[in-house]
Every structure is written in structure tokens, then in C-alpha cells.
């Protein structure tokens, strides 16, 4: 396998000469998103891949959106007010029209937000929308969202493409999409009547395709930006031998590790689950990946979140790796089962995931565990999770391991999370979430490894591009700002 991967990378580097991506470009910005062709999919029904998420952000934005740096700026709402207790958000909508020319109203927007949290919704943000108590259209232009308890960074969740507003299958802009015969989408930017054509942002040609094709087109100067890169296809991007000014990484936050899914067998014992986490050499993996700013993780929740400044860290965190592995091997050795014990690990396809699995397999072999890789949707004992957090909310991390979402859980942690949802103030909420975090850490429901890896390729033309923690890159701010 290693030889085949090496051969593939060498071939990719040789086939596509350097220099094409540095050609000056005029006209539309050409964006290649790794994944399927872009569609204006309803995020309440279908998950969004990189191309469709980019399309929704550009042409069906929500109440607010992210700017280039990942900060909140107006979207459909031209302004908003947050009550002193953080429980009520009042949005004043901009005067906008749908593509058919009809006026956009607060009632329509409220209806779409209600649909995202309805019983039938499969929106990935639905578990977090339980924080909402009521969504009300106060007038045609004013919308109010009341929360059950305060939520810091609530606007970050509303800025995600999953909260984009679609009405009759279309968005209110600001970009207008036109599908080409080859599946590419032309995104036409908004123009002011007094604005010259060259003053505003350029149009965008958005394409969804496999990583190898996207990288090849970038190297040939046929794409200005490649987005949606993960660790799975990172070796292909690395083979292109681009500098740090072309291959760039987002400082993303989220989950990058392994969730336990076995409801029977040796892994039902929290001590065995702990042994698997203790045995991993995270620093060696980080060194192999050599990604600027990549942080290894030992806790389920990252540090310094407003809801939980100091998450639970395992007691063994300060011990050297040899000591940890010796203890882990003793734990495995005491099991009254045939040795080595077998574990099935479900992971996505891609050369980067194969490299990651090879490191896991080697580390676990040192303590008497034989890991076998299976497809991501197959029955498994552990399943790989690689997700960017939609907001800096500790509750997002914890709810991924509620008993409704994961077979390995702690009902007491669920009770603490349920109480936190209706806590009367931030102090009470922090205490309840911290208790849930301690319970989940003791249950060893997750093996954290590092922060998520998200990469992009960008041409010199895109002086407005900024890496950010959400790995979101708004279409209107990609090009250099006008002087």
C-alpha cells in the first residue's frame, strides 16, 4: 500500500508542472470544491458538501454570515439587538426580494428557521436548535428569536450554510446562480446602479469535483481556488509541491478522533477504551503530518470556550508515552479474551486516512490490539469523526455523545446537558456542562487526536482570502478589496 501511494504522489507531482497556478487571471474567479457538483439542496433534508455549502452561503445566505476572518457580519438581517440577559435576539431584515421579484418577509424567514428544528428535519444543527424557545415574526421586517437560556456565540451557528434561507427552492442572494451545461454554477454578484462593472466583486464559476482533478486544474492555471480539502486528500495536495502561500490551512476547531460504537465485547469496559486512547502517540502523528498550527488534543472539548474554559483532561495526560503504554498493555492483558483483541475501525477513503490508520494500527499493536480498517458506513467498534464545529459552543461537542446520538454514552451526562439547556444563567449552565464533560471523560466515549484538518489551494489573485476557525470562505471577499 505504501509503495502504491508513493507512486501515485510522484506521478501527480510529475504530471502537472509548477507555474500554471501563478498565471495572472482575469474574469470570473474559478472555484473547485472537492466533492459533488453544487446543488441548492435543502439542508434540512440533505447534508451539504463543500460545493453546495459554498453555493448556499453565496446565493441563499442566512440572517448573518461570516466575513473572510470568520467574524459575524450582516446577511439577510441588516442589524440586530441582543437583550442584556442574552435570551432574546431581534433582527431587522434588509429590504430584499426573491428571484421571482416578490418581497422577502420576516414570516417567510421565520418559517424556514422553524423547519430547520422541526421533528422531520435532518439538519445537522438540529440538536443545537433546541436552545431556541420561540421564533416570531414581529412585523414584515422584524424577526425575534427567544432562547431557553443564554448562548454565547449563538450568531456563529446562524451563520452556517445549514441555516441558509431557501424559499421555493431559491435564495435571496446576494449572488445569483446560473447552472451551466457541465454542472458548473456561474455566481453573478450584486451590483449597485451607480457602481461600475469593474468596481464590484467578480463573478464566480463554481465546480465540484474529485480532489485529484481539482488539484490538477489548479496546477494548470484553470482554477483560482480549491476548497474542501481534508486529511484524506492532503497527500495529493502535498505532492504538488506548492509553497505555504498556495497550500494553506484553516485553524479549524472541532472533532478529529474516534467514537466508540460497540455496545458489546471488550470495548464496553471504559478501562479498555481508555487504554486505546493512552496508547496513541499524538505527537508523532503531528510530526508526520507537519501541518502549521495543528494542535493535538486529549480532551473532548477544546480549552478556553466561554461555556467551559477548562475542560476535563484525563489523569494520565502528564505521563510519558512509555508509562502510558505499559499501563494500557496491562489493561488489555487482563482481559479474558483471545489475544490480540480485534477492533474494527470505520474510516473514510483517501490516502491521508490510510496514513492515519497505519499510525493507529502500529500504536495499538504495541499494547496487544489488532486494528482492522473497514468502510466508514460498515459495522465497526470505532468510527472516525472529522467535523468542524459550527460555533464555539461546548454543548456542540458534548451533544455528539448523548445517548440519542451515540451507543456508548452516559445517561447522567444526558441529564446534566438537559438541565443546562434550561439553566437560568451562564454560571449555572457552565457548572452543568462541566459536570457532563467530566462524566463523558470518565466514560471514555471518544478518543480525541487533534484539531480538524482543512486545507485550500489559492492563487495570488485571491488577496481577500483569510484562513479562519470555521473553514468558511465567503464568495464576496475572495478577491483583493478595491483600493
* Distance (Å, whole) CA 202 – CA 189: 7
Is residue 211 within 8 A of residue 454, CB to CB? The reply is: no
Q: Over the stretch 306-326, which tens digit does the pLDDT of each residue have? A: 999 999 999 999 999 999 999
Is residue 386 within 8 A of residue 256, CB to CB? The reply is: yes
* Distance (Å, whole) CA 417 – CA 348: 30
3-state secondary structure the chain: CHHHHHHHHHHHHHHCCCCHHHCCCCCCEEEEEECCCCCCCCCCCCCCCHHHHHHHHHHECCCEEECCCCCEEECCEEEEEECCCCCEEEEEECCCECCCCCECCHHHHHHHHHHHCCCCCCCCCHHHHHHEEEEEECCCCEEEEEECCCCCCHHHHHCCHHHCCCECCECCECCEEEECCCCCEEEECCCCCCCCCCCCCCCEEEEEECHHHHHHHHHCCCCCEEEEECCCCHHHHHHCCCCCCCEEEECCCEEEEEEECCCCCHHHCHHHHHHHHHCCCHHHHHHHHCCCCCCECCCCCCCCECCECCCCCCHHHHCCHHHHHHHHHHHHHCCCCCCCEEEEEEECCCHHHHHHHHHHHHHHHCCCEEEEEEECCCCCCEEEEEEECCCCCHHHHHHCCCCCCCCCCCHHHHHHHHHHHCCCCHHHHHHHHHHHHHHHHHHCCEEECECCCEEEEECCCCCCCCCCCCCCCCHHHCCCCCC
Burial of 352-375, coded b for 16+ CB within 10 Å and e otherwise, reads bbbbbbbbbbebbeebbbebebee
| Positions in the chain whose pLDDT score sits under 50 | 1-6, 8-10, 13-24, 482-483
Amino acid at each position: 500500500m505504501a509503495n502504491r501511494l508513493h507512486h501515485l504522489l510522484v506521478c501527480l507531482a510529475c504530471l502537472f508542472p509548477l507555474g500554471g497556478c501563478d498565471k495572472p487571471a482575469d474574469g470570473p474567479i474559478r472555484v473547485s470544491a472537492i466533492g459533488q457538483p453544487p446543488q441548492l439542496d435543502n439542508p434540512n433534508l440533505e447534508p451539504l458538501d463543500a460545493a453546495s455549502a459554498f453555493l448556499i452561503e453565496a446565493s441563499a445566505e442566512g440572517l448573518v454570515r461570516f466575513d473572510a476572518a470568520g467574524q459575524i457580519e450582516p446577511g439577510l438581517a441588516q442589524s440586530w439587538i441582543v437583550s442584556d440577559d442574552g435570551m432574546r435576539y431581534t433582527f431587522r431584515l434588509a429590504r430584499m426580494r426573491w428571484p421571482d421579484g416578490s418581497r422577502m418577509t420576516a414570516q417567510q424567514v421565520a418559517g424556514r428557521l422553524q423547519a430547520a428544528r422541526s421533528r422531520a428535519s435532518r439538519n445537522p444543527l438540529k440538536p443545537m436548535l433546541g436552545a431556541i424557545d420561540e421564533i416570531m415574526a414581529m412585523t414584515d421586517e422584524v424577526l425575534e428569536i427567544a432562547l431557553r437560556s443564554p448562548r454565547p456565540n449563538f450568531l456563529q451557528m446562524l451563520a452556517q450554510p445549514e441555516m441558509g434561507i431557501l424559499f421555493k427552492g431559491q435564495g435571496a442572494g446576494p449572488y445569483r446562480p446560473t447552472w451551466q451545461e457541465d454542472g458548473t454554477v456561474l455566481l453573478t454578484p450584486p451590483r449597485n446602479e451607480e457602481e461600475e462593472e469593474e468596481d464590484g466583486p467578480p463573478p464566480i464559476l463554481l465546480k465540484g469535483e474529485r480532489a485529484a482533478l481539482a488539484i490538477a486544474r489548479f496546477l494548470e492555471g484553470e482554477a483560482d481556488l480549491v476548497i474542501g480539502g481534508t486529511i484524506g486528500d492532503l497527500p495529493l495536495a502535498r505532492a504538488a509541491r506548492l509553497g505555504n502561500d498556495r497550500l494553506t490551512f484553516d485553524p479549524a476547531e472541532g472533532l478529529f478522533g474516534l467514537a466508540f460504537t460497540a455496545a458489546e465485547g471488550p470495548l464496553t469496559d471504559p478501562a479498555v477504551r481508555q487504554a486505546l486512547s493512552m496508547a496513541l502517540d499524538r505527537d508523532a502523528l503531528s510530526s508526520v503530518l507537519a501541518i502549521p498550527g495543528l494542535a493535538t488534543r486529549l480532551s473532548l472539548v477544546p480549552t478556553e470556550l466561554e461555556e467551559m474554559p477548562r475542560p476535563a483532561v484525563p489523569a494520565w495526560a502528564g505521563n510519558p508515552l512509555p508509562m502510558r503504554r505499559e499501563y494500557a498493555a496491562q489493561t488489555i492483558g487482563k482481559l479474558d479474551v483471545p489475544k490480540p483483541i480485534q477492533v474494527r475501525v470505520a474510516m473514510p477513503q483517501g490516502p491521508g486516512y490510510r496514513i492515519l490508520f497505519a499510525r493507529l494500527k502500529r500504536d495499538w499493536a504495541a499494547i496487544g490490539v489488532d486494528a482492522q480498517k473497514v468502510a466508514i458506513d460498515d459495522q465497526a467498534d470505532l468510527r472516525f469523526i472529522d467535523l468542524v464545529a459550527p460555533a464555539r459552543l461546548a454543548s456542540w461537542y458534548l451533544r455528539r455523545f448523548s445517548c440519542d446520538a451515540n451507543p456508548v454514552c452516559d445517561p447522567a451526562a444526558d441529564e446534566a446537558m438537559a438541565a443546562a439547556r434550561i439553566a437560568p444563567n451562564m454560571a449555572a449552565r457552565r457548572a452543568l456542562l462541566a459536570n457532563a464533560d467530566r462524566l463523558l471523560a470518565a466514560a471514555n466515549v471518544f478518543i480525541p487526536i487533534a484539531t480538524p484538518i482543512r486545507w485550500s489551494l489559492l492563487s495570488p489573485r485571491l488577496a481577500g482570502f483569510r484562513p479562519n476557525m470555521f473553514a468558511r470562505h465567503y464568495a464576496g471577499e475572495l478577491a483583493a478589496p478595491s483600493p
